[in-house]
Amino acid sequence: MIKLSNVSKIYKNHMKALNDISVDIQEGEFVYVVGHSGAGKSTFIKLLYREERATQGHVLVDGLDLTKVTNRRVHKYRRTIGVVFQDFKLLPNLTAYENVAYALEVHGEDAQTINTKVKEALELVGLIDKMKQFPDQLSGGEQQRVAIARAIVNKPKLLIADEPTGNLDPVTSQTIMEVLEEVNKRGTTVVMATHDIHLVNESRKRTLTFENGVIINDAQEGGYFYDDEVL
């Protein structure tokens, strides 16, 4: 599903964020990406949704080389994936339903298809009852679930989550994890960057640990690589 070969990323300010990393992620996997701040995990995530382009090497997602996708064409790729962020990125003036529908509207889907798909996605994240509420009427966890519904409404093969539980308390984080695991069970590959040591240790999944722009550990059986608990 994802194949990075000798990928380096150097920003314009000459900062080397990634240094010659190579990794394969199979279809249907759930992978954690962990590391200290500035270790390179955010850059890795950004390469996956083609917000950034690798300076060297190749980033292949489902056979498509993202280093060759131009800015004009990037929207076509984004339609095949879902992305979730720590700050939810919901539009405050739209209801939960409308926020999810938004992802389909921009593709020009008709009202009936939108209605069916949006309800299906909201059902999956358990928010069908609150679909008419605006983001400020929802809790943090609920807002993140709306964001997940928006990310999966197109049934993407890959879901990229950048610290999705970063703003949430442990109990709410657990419900978000349950939703993401459910999405994964239905066949979507999930790559999730996180700082949350408890989540990583509790639900054992493959874990990539980044440090100074390289992957210092690829634990297939999961678990936190660092001894310290503060990252």
Partner 1 sequence: MMMKYFRMGTRHWREAFKGIWRHRMLAFSAVLSVAVALFLTSFLVLVVLNVNNVTSNLEKDIKIYATIKKDTSAEAIDNLIAQTRTLGNVAEIQYKTADQELDDLILSYGEEGKIFESYRDDNPLKATLTFTLIDPRDAEATVTALTAFSELDKIQYGQETAENILQIFDTVQRFGAFVVLAVMVVAVVLISNTIRMAIMARRTEIEIMRLVGASNFFIRWPFILEGLIIGILGSIIPVGLTIVGYTQLYGYLTNQGQLALVRLAEPSEILLGISLLTIAIGAFVGILGSLFSMTKFLKK
- Which chain residues interact with partner 1 by CB under 8 A? 49, 71-72, 74-80, 83, 89-91, 102-103, 105-108, 110, 150, 154
Cβ distance 84 to 129 under 8 Å?
Answer: no
Nearer to partner 1, 77 or 225 (CB): 77
Nearer to partner 1, 68 or 89 (CB): 89
Phi, psi of 210 (to 5 degrees): -100, 145
Least separation in angstroms between residue 74's CB and partner 1 is 8
Nearer to partner 1, 55 or 212 (CB): 55
Nearer to partner 1, 13 or 93 (CB): 93
Distance CA 202, CA 152 (A): 24
Least separation in angstroms between residue 41's CB and partner 1 is 18
Strands of the sheet containing 16-25, edge to edge, are 16-25, 2-10, 56-61, 64-65
Least separation in angstroms between residue 114's CB and partner 1 is 10
Q: How would DSSP label each residue in 43-94?
A: HHHHHHTTSS--SEEEEEETTEEGGG--TTTHHHHHTTEEEEETT----TTS
Nearer to partner 1, 2 or 104 (CB): 104
Least separation in angstroms between residue 106's CB and partner 1 is 4
Distance CA 25, CA 207 (A): 11
Least separation in angstroms between residue 149's CB and partner 1 is 12
